[in-house]
Amino acid sequence: MKHRVAVMDLGTNTFHLLIAEGDAESQHILYKITNPVKLGEGGINKGVIQSAPFERGITAMKQFNQELLKYNVTEVKAIATSALRSAANGVDFINQVRATTGIDIETINGDQEAEYIYRGVKASHCLSDQTSLIVDIGGGSVEFIVANNKCILWKRSFEIGAARLMDQFHQIDPIPSQSVDDLYNYLEEKLSALFTALDQYSVAELIGSSGAFETFAELTETANGNPFDINTVKNYTFNVDDFYEITDSLIKSSHMQRAANQSIAPVRVDMIVVSSLLTRFILKRSNIEAVVMTTYSLKEGVLASMLG
């Protein structure tokens, strides 16, 4: 039997399961699913997983375990990121998952998370000899990686994920201009280390890793009247004017307008606003004028390391 592995990316907003077989050069995806658990709901900035999302997470892990049995998986790697590593009851969740499913969850730090994201983005073949800024906007943290197709030049994880920013700055909808100003001032302070690093490198483009960037791409293509299936896309290059137009409309929109848009996944309906603001702030603050999206991220990086 071929080496059959499973990767679980247990994030603040979504739990991902990816089952594949083969080796580093020849991978075959057998099954993948995303479950909008919203583990950080109601407690992301309080450092605790609330009871309802706690139970949703346990239910999702039981469902994932059924798929592992169905596909006769021989090796499993379950990776927990920001919400579980920062929550006071994160260990309780990990212990309950082990007791009910036998799955051992590994909590990684922000540095390890950035490393896996780089491996995933590299596997998509969107990196080149030129220097890029990879941005992965999660619910709990955001990873920034300055890199090319040969190596990482600089990396850092910041606990400023979309769920955290929304909890602090997006309480009124549409988001008021004062809240936008407050958010930008907050980011200027929190991301000083990033801007110091960017001053050292000539960055040609921003590469957005999955998540919100998939939504930006789908909204752009839909607005241009083109069919778009994210499941068939690995990399996508934005027209920068289109990117600013789409994110501008999202920032000005109401919850009702976003919820009615079929191109926005329910789990991203509200967090897409602060994700738009964060991305625009990074672009303007660093004078980067090119934006690319890849659907590859942490789970593909973990998969590459397992099959490699």
pLDDT in tens, 102-136: 999 999 999 999 999 999 999 999 999 999 999 99
* Measured distance CA(265)–CA(104) in Å, rounded: 29
Residue 124 near residue 297, CB atoms below 8 Å: no
The four Cα atoms 260, 261, 263, 264 give a dihedral, to 10 degrees, of: -70
The residues, any chain, with a CB within 8 Å of residue 198's CB and separated by 6 or more, are 133, 146, 286
Q: Which residues of the chain have pLDDT under 50?
A: none
Provide the pLDDT for residue 308: 80
Residue 145 near residue 154, CB atoms below 8 Å: yes
Provide the pLDDT for residue 306: 93
Provide the pLDDT for residue 24: 66
Provide the pLDDT for residue 193: 98
Provide the pLDDT for residue 9: 97
Provide the pLDDT for residue 215: 97
Taken in order of first residue, the domains within the chain and their CATH numbers are 4-107 (3.30.420.40), 125-298 (3.30.420.150)
| φ/ψ (deg, to 5) at 17 | -125, 130
* Measured distance CA(300)–CA(116) in Å, rounded: 8
The residues, any chain, with a CB within 8 Å of residue 272's CB and separated by 6 or more, are 162, 212, 215, 250, 258, 264
Provide the pLDDT for residue 226: 95
Full 3-state SS string of 112-149: HHHHHHHHHHHHCCCCCCCCEEEEEECCCCEEEEEECC
Provide the pLDDT for residue 208: 98
**Which of 292, 251, 62, 287 has its CA nearest to residue 166?**
251
Provide the pLDDT for residue 25: 67
Provide the pLDDT for residue 101: 98
pTM score of the predicted model? 0.96
